[in-house]
Amino acid sequence: MPLVRVHDVSQVFANGVRALAGASLDIEAGEFLSVLGPSGCGKSTLLRLIAGLAEPTAGSIDWPEGRPDLGFVFQEPTLMPWTTALANVALPLKLRGVARSEREARAAEALAGVGLQGFEKSYPRELSGGMKMRVSIARALVTAPKLLLMDEPFAALDEITRRRLNTDLLELWQRTRFTAVFVTHSVFESVFLSQRIVVMSARPGRVRSELAIPAPYPRSEAFGTSADYAALCRLASAQLSEAMAA
């Protein structure tokens, strides 16, 4: 049984824009899934619908085993600038009424988990773009969610930082085994990270095709330079072109 069943979901905004038209998708528990598509294909809308931040115009989103705890990582770090990294990470726990000492301990642990030990008292403006994104990921993971939704989290970062974060994200995923849904417009990123790629077409968005990435984990930098990787990227790229032409 899948963790989430997105069934024939359509979304029309108040201004008449059709973001999604009959998108269907099953997400299995524990998998690393990438949603690949051009800008404006409704990927972000799909993610917001799964998160429950919006209601679909038509169709349904079902949780066969009940709606689990979930975390959300936005395109920008989306941190509160007026408080420390630790307080930012502790925010979800605070909003759920966890006592101060416990939430600070758990937040510190989550920060250490993304490699930011020693930066607890830093303010967001004192951190680099990549570090801010790490704080954002730590915040999403601090509640130990079963499902982590990520909306092009590394799109605004430079290539080198991005690669580091990709590797570290995979390592986190292997360690804690949450279900990951990663929205991106980068073929390379989606192939490197995921077990399965769902390719979407634009305006209105729907799921066009699917691609399995059978490479084993842990995936290192070596995987990113292998012939297998290149072949899979070509395949994904072809599917993306097809989806965009359709």
Partner 1 sequence: MSARILAPLLMGLFMLVLWEGLVRAMAIPPYILPGPILVAKTLVSDWGTLWPALIVTLTITLQALLAAVVVGVLLALLFSLSRWIELSLFPYAIILQVTPIVAIAPLIIAWVDDVNVSLLICAWLVAFFPILSNTVLGLRSVDRNLLDLFELYGASRWRTLLDLRLPAALPYFLGGLRISGGLALIGAVVAEFVAGSGGRESGLAYRILESGYQLKIPRMFAALVLISAAGIAIYGLLSLVSHLLLRRWHESALGEG
Site for partner 1 in 222-241 (CB under 8 A): none
* List 70, 172, 187, 232, residue binding partner 1 (CB under 8 A): 70
Under the binding rule (CB under 8 A), the answer on residue 125 touching partner 1 is yes
x/- mask, partner 1, residues 141-170, rule CB under 8 A, reads --x---------------------------
Under the binding rule (CB under 8 A), the answer on residue 76 touching partner 1 is yes
First-last CA distance in the chain: 31
**Closer Cβ to partner 1, 14 or 227, answer by number:** 14
Q: Is 103 left (phi over 0), alpha (psi -120 to 50) or beta?
A: alpha
Under the binding rule (CB under 8 A), the answer on residue 192 touching partner 1 is no
* List 13, 52, 156, 241, residue binding partner 1 (CB under 8 A): 52
**Closer Cβ to partner 1, 53 or 230, answer by number:** 53
Q: CA 167 to CA 160: how far, in whole Å? A: 11
Stretch that binds partner 1, among 17-25, 67-75, 101-109, 211-219 (CB under 8 A): 67-75
* List 91, 112, 215, 238, residue binding partner 1 (CB under 8 A): 91
Residues that bind partner 1 (CB under 8 A): 48, 51-53, 70, 72, 74, 76, 78, 80-83, 91-92, 94-96, 123-125, 143
